[in-house]
C-alpha cells in the first residue's frame, strides 16, 4: 500500500487540516491586534466556514457519497437525555459576565459554533472515521478519538491554563469517543454535529476567565458521564456481536446456566 493511500497517513493529514483554518484566524487576530470578542469570533467563523467548504469539497472528490459519511437521518433514543443533562450542568457555573455580552455577540458566537461543529465533525467523525474504518470499526472509533484529543493540544500554544487544557484534552477524547460510537451505531453524523455545536455554545456562554473549583468539578462530572456513555455504546456495538458469535459456535450443544 502506498503511503499516500494509507488510512492512518490520510487521517494525520486531515488532523492537520483541522488545525489550519483556526490557525489562520489566530494569525489574523494577532497581526491586526484585534481585541473585540465579537470581531474575533466573526473572523474565526469566516475562517472555519472556509474550512467547512474545503472539507465538503474533499468529501465530494472522494470515492464515498455524502450518505456514506453519515448525512442521513437517525432515530432519537433515551441516551440523548443523558447528553442533554450533561450539557445543561454547565449552567451551574453561571452565565459569563463579559462586558461585551450582547445580542450581536451571541449571534456571532452562534454562527461560529455551528461552523466549528460542522468543520470538526466532518473531519473527525466523517473523513477520518470513514478512512480508518478500512482498519476495522474499533480502530476507526479509537483512532479518530485519539486524533481529536491530540488536536486540542494546540490550546497550550495559545497560552491556555495548563490544568483546564488537560481537562479539555481528556474531555475531547471522551467526547470524540462517544461521537464516533454514535456514528457507528446510528450510521449518522447529524447528532454529533448538533451536539458539538451545542456544547461549544454552552461552554462559551458559561466560560469564566479564571477556572475555579466549580468549573473543574463540572468538567469532571461531564467526563464521568461520557465514560458511562462510552461503555454503554461499546457494549451495544461489540458485546452483542460476540454473543451472537457464541450462539453460532455453541449451536446444537446443551445449554448451561450459571
pLDDT, one tens digit per residue, over 156-196 is 555 566 777 788 889 999 999 999 999 999 999 999 999 99
Question: DSSP label at 212?
Answer: -
Question: DSSP label at 35?
Answer: -
Q: What percent of the chain has pLDDT over 70?
A: 86
| Highest mean pLDDT (candidates 49-63, 84-98, 228-242) | 49-63
Question: DSSP label at 236?
Answer: I
What's the distance, Cα to Cα, between the start and end of the chain in Å?
Answer: 48
Beta-carbon neighbour count of residue 187 at 10 Å?
A: 13
Joined together, the cell numbers standing for residue 11 give 487521517
Closest CA to 176 of 139, 141, 221: 141
pLDDT in tens, 96-152: 766 667 888 899 999 999 999 999 999 999 999 999 999 999 999 999 999 999 887
Closest CA to 232 of 81, 130, 126, 120: 81
Distance CA 27, CA 24 (A): 5
Question: DSSP label at 71?
Answer: -
The pLDDT, as a whole number, for residue 189 is 97
Distance CA 186, CA 112 (A): 26
Helices 190-205/162-186 angle, 10° precision: 160
Widest pairwise Cα distance in the chain: 76
Closest CA to 208 of 97, 112, 88: 97
CB under 8 Å to 15, separation ≥6 — which residues? 123, 124, 128, 147, 150, 151
Residue in the structure block whose three cell numbers are 472509533: 141
Angle at Cα 16 formed by Cα 13 and Cα 21, nearest 5°? 130
* Exposed / middle / buried, residue 235 (Cβ in 10 Å: 0-12, 13-18, 19+): exposed
Measuring CA to CA, how many Å separate 145 from each of 30, 171, 177, 217? 30, 10, 5, 23
Q: What percent of the chain has pLDDT over 90?
A: 66
pLDDT in tens, 221-250: 999 999 999 999 999 999 865 444 443 334
Closest CA to 124 of 106, 151, 85, 101: 151
The pTM assigned to this predicted structure is 0.88
Residue in the structure block whose three cell numbers are 447528532: 191
Amino acid at each position: 500500500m502506498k503511503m499516500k493511500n494509507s488510512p492512518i497517513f490520510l487521517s494525520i493529514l486531515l488532523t492537520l487540516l483541522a488545525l489550519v483554518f483556526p490557525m489562520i484566524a489566530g494569525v489574523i487576530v494577532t497581526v491586526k491586534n484585534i481585541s473585540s470578542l465579537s470581531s474575533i469570533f466573526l473572523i474565526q467563523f469566516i475562517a472555519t466556514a472556509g474550512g467547512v467548504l474545503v472539507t465538503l469539497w474533499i468529501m465530494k472528490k472522494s470515492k464515498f457519497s455524502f450518505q456514506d459519511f453519515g448525512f442521513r437521518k437517525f432515530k432519537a433514543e433515551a441516551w440523548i437525555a443523558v447528553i442533554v443533562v450533561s450539557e445543561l450542568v454547565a449552567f451551574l457555573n453561571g452565565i459569563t459576565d463579559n462586558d461585551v455580552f450582547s445580542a450581536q455577540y451571541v449571534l456571532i458566537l452562534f454562527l461560529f459554533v455551528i461552523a466549528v461543529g460542522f468543520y470538526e465533525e466532518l473531519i473527525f467523525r466523517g473523513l477520518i472515521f470513514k478512512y480508518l474504518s478500512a482498519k476495522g470499526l474499533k480502530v476507526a472509533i479509537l483512532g479518530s478519538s485519539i486524533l481529536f484529543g491530540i488536536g486540542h493540544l494546540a490550546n497550550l500554544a495559545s497560552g491556555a491554563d495548563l490544568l483546564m487544557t488537560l481537562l479539555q484534552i481528556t474531555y475531547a477524547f471522551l467526547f470524540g469517543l462517544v461521537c464516533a460510537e454514535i456514528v457507528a451505531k446510528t450510521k449518522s453524523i447529524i447528532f454529533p454535529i448538533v451536539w458539538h455545536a451545542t456544547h461549544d455554545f454552552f461552554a462559551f456562554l458559561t466560560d469564566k476567565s479564571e477556572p475555579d473549583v466549580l468549573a473543574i468539578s463540572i468538567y469532571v462530572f461531564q467526563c464521568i458521564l461520557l465514560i458511562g456513555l462510552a461503555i454503554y455504546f461499546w457494549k451495544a456495538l461489540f458485546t452483542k456481536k460476540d454473543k451472537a458469535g457464541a450462539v453460532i459456535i455453541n449451536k446444537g450443544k446443551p445449554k448451561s446456566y450459571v
